Amino acid sequence: MDIKTLLKENEKLVKEFGAGPLSTLKDLPDFYTFEKKLIYSHRDFDKYYKAIKEGKKCAIVSGFNASGVMHLGHKVVFDTNLFFQKHFGVPVFIPISDDESYVTGKVESQETALKYSLKLAREILAYGFDPEKTFFIIDQLYTNIYNLAIKLSTKVTLSEIKATYGYKMENNPGLFFYPAVQSAHVLLPMEFFDFDFVLVPIGPDEDSHLRICRDIASRISRVKPAVLHLSFMPGIDGEKMSKSRNNTIFLFEEHEKEIAKKVNKAISGGAKTLEEHKKFGGDPEKDIACFYLEKYFLDKAQAEKLFDDYRKGTLSSKDVKKMLSGKLVEFTQSLQSNLKKINFETVYKCLLKNPELTLEKFKDLFAKI
């Protein structure tokens, strides 16, 4: 599967599920994830962006799976969230789905899910989020979320959930209830903290969750959460980037050799031999290293020169991969350095939590990660 074919999968949301192409909006933020078309479509983003600029009380909700690992594919959503937090002071609520990971069998125990959740919370803060404006929702530690989920569950039917997710009666009941919990995560800033608008940046394959949530929001007289759909990102093999395929680079990778090893495996757009490449040039549109450099690390002029040199054959596939490896090593080392500064007190401060979770009790939990 080539890059263009992969990106076309986003079109399904527009053609079949009523999302709007982001390209049709005239007023967009001056930020690389919007300028480089790393965000494909939306639901009501124009209304949300207008509300931000008018000084309305706006929040972002951006969830993470407790069984997941932060990788290069997450950079777009993290950077977009940070843009709104830094430039507009938008609080970011981050549900880390410890219970969903357990219910779906992605982790073997609730204890494991909690351990992974705390590790992720620390890494997300190390990415650069402001502890004063970042709030983690880990449901084992903030069980108030279930009271809201119970309330919201009365606004959706089992038929709607089965039709949306394809669940069968053989599935465990936790799966049927979890859409109400996810909706509670998204609507929590409005229900508990009096925010007027919420934005949820997601991958296109997560849109079903937000369709349910937006329906529930309208049924409780809340503003429907706005949605940004990120473009599908190719892994080093050209397929959809994911941890399960082992086709991505982890953002907290400690070993430089592992980064170089994966980059060297990336699909090339170069000729079969170096001699042919120098003579005829290569195709940067097919080269994954060129793609990552252009989308993540280079400005417009730098990217144009990179692609031009690659087409001329003055820049080889090996050169491009070496350049990408250097950028990735520098980026991951910076994150590792930041991680050392994030202690249990900082994470504790950012948690929405039950009253009984004291700092001392949390210190013991944190020690287990």
Residue range of the domain that includes 17 = 3-230
Tell me if 225 sits within 8 A of 189, measured CB to CB. no
Q: Domain for residue 276, yes or no?
A: no
Would you call 198 helix, strand, or coil by DSSP?
A: strand
- For residue 213, the Cα-to-chain-centroid distance in whole angstroms is 18
- Burial of residue 311 (CB within 10 Å: 0-12, 13-18, 19+) is middle
pLDDT of residue 3: 64
Tell me if 150 sits within 8 A of 178, measured CB to CB. no
Tell me if 241 sits within 8 A of 68, measured CB to CB. no
pLDDT of residue 47: 98
Would you call 234 helix, strand, or coil by DSSP?
A: strand
Q: How many domains does the chain have?
A: 1
Q: Domain for residue 32, yes or no?
A: yes
Q: Domain for residue 23, yes or no?
A: yes
Specify the pairing of strand 197-202 against strand 58-61: parallel
Closest CA to 164 of 201, 205, 217, 203: 205
Closest CA to 152 of 62, 220, 59, 60: 220
Q: Domain for residue 204, yes or no?
A: yes
- Give the Cα separation of 365 and 369 in Å (integer): 8
Q: Domain for residue 103, yes or no?
A: yes
Which DSSP category does 95 fall into? E
Tell me if 71 sits within 8 A of 243, measured CB to CB. yes
Residue by residue, pLDDT tens for the chain (369 residues) are 566 676 677 888 888 889 999 999 999 999 999 999 999 999 999 999 999 999 999 999 999 999 889 999 999 999 999 999 999 999 999 999 999 999 999 999 999 999 999 999 999 999 999 999 999 999 999 999 999 999 999 999 999 999 999 888 898 999 999 999 999 999 999 999 999 999 999 998 899 999 999 999 999 999 999 999 999 889 999 888 888 888 999 999 999 999 999 999 999 999 989 999 999 999 999 999 999 999 999 999 999 999 999 999 999 999 999 999 999 999 999 999 999 999 999 999 999 999 999 999 999 999 988
Q: Domain for residue 304, yes or no?
A: no
- Give the Cα separation of 357 and 360 in Å (integer): 8
Closest CA to 263 of 235, 282, 285: 235
Q: Domain for residue 321, yes or no?
A: no
Q: Domain for residue 223, yes or no?
A: yes
Specify the CATH number for the domain of residue 72: 3.40.50.620
Report the 10 Å Cβ neighbour count for 358: 11
Token pair 């936790």 is at which residue? 174
Report the 10 Å Cβ neighbour count for 95: 28
Report the 10 Å Cβ neighbour count for 194: 8
